[in-house]
Chain A
Amino acid sequence: MIYAVWLPLLVPFLAAPLARRGAEQLPPRVAAWSLTVLSGALALSATAALALLTLAGALRLPSVARFARLSPSLPDVGPPATVPAAVAAALALTALCALAARGVRRQVREVRRARRESGAVPGAGDLVVLPDERPDAYALPGRPGRIVVTSGMLRALDGREREALLAHERAHLAGRHHLFLVCAESAAVLHPALRSLREPLSFALERWADESAARATGDRAFTARAVGRAALAARSVRGPGPGPRRPRLALGATAGPVPRRVSALLAGAPRTRAPLSRVLACLLLASVALSAAAALDAATDLHTGVEIAQGERPPSPPADDD
């Protein structure tokens, strides 16, 4: 399977659309885990494939081959990478890893700065209130996590709805949802086809937190009203403004994330739509397995090739000669 090394680079293009469809069928918690693990696994496989292409190309350089003590008489080592492919892979690998590392560093820095600033505001328990009429609320990860809410948001909600809001943010913190987001964000940098999984992931995380809030407050309707009222209040203050960012959902979803969250809460506890989701789950598992196996196969090929060229293992005899 000498072309195995290219598979991990191609699989994400097929798997990402499937995963988007699959995530809609799953309960939010399962959807969030699936999307995160899937993007992580596919991104790692693709990165490994780039690394293998680079390595195979590098072994063709006389100086590297000498360093690795390869016999010059056995130049065909590893995947059949042409030199231009190896050079492209090396450039891509370097650039993508640098971008991913920079992205993670930037996010950590942002959260640190926000925490430093929020530490100066008097808070109660895990709550920090910002005196600001624009309704806004978010969870600041860290130990301990903090919930940052503006006074405008608190005024827009009544007692039970505020409880739902706080429970929602606590669910983000307790579930360490920011780690899911960082993972998906890095995966999206490492392979562009995985970018389309960020939107469904953040929706699944919001739904997950909504369901936790509904359980904590014991009232789905109040939780739904809290989400809906917060969004309407935010809009009434900000005004229609310059065309709000619509999520790029290509699957014909007519509603943005907030109405979908509200209707999901009003509709009752989430259920898995069994047959379809099982088929999709199998397909996705297969794609992850294919990606990982292909990367592994390519790595084994390369390793065997290197050992042969080092003279530590005789070239395998042609199999079908007899």
Chain B
Amino acid sequence: MPERQHDEEADGRPDRRPAGELEAGVLAALWAAGAPLTPAAVQLELGTGLARTTVTTILTRLHAKGVVTRARSGRGYAYAPAQDAPGLTARRMHAELDKDDDRSTVLARFVSDLSPEDEDLLRDLLEGGQDASRPLPSPQPPEGPA
């Protein structure tokens, strides 16, 4: 499978991104799904208009690196994130970081804690915005927006 499929894409923007970013996006999609995904399902989950061939290439590469596992599913494979002996390293790392209460000094976290007033305000803001199709605090399996 050739790795360069740029020209097939009508909307070529996502394909021109560095390979590392595409791999990160695919791994994130697999983790978000919580169940093994076929390349077609990954493509849908990504919601970025990436070509199916590109998705397959990335999955193959991730599998070769040992980052994802795969199992036969119909005519192809379904992929899932690989975890070392039940996520041991990851848990240790998390525990390690949790020990430091003030790690936020250098490690800028994506979101800070919310106060109750913040939470209400935030719901108002997001529900007021367009495209409120998904219920708000739900960690349910998402689907790619149209």
Contacts and interface: CB of A to CB of B under 8 A. Distances in A.
A258 B106 contact: no
B107 interface: yes
A114 interface: yes
B62 interface: yes
Interface in A137-170: 137-141, 147, 149-163, 165-166, 168-170
B90 to A, nearest CB: 4
Contacts, number: 240
B114 A244 contact: yes
A164 to B, nearest CB: 10
A240 B118 CA distance: 12
B142 interface: yes
Interface residues of B, number: 71
A118 B94 CA distance: 9
B8 interface: no
* Most-contacted residue by chain B among A147, A172, A231 (CB, 10 A): A231
B2 interface: no
Interface residues of A, number: 88
Contact of A258 (B111, B130, B136): B111
B32 interface: yes
Grouping DSSP codes into helix (H, G, I), strand (E, B) and loop, the A interface class, with mixed when no group exceeds half, is: helix
Contacts of B84: 120-122
B93 A130 contact: yes
B10 to A, nearest CB: 16
B11 to A, nearest CB: 11
B12 interface: no
B65 interface: yes
Contacts of B126: 224-225, 228-229, 262
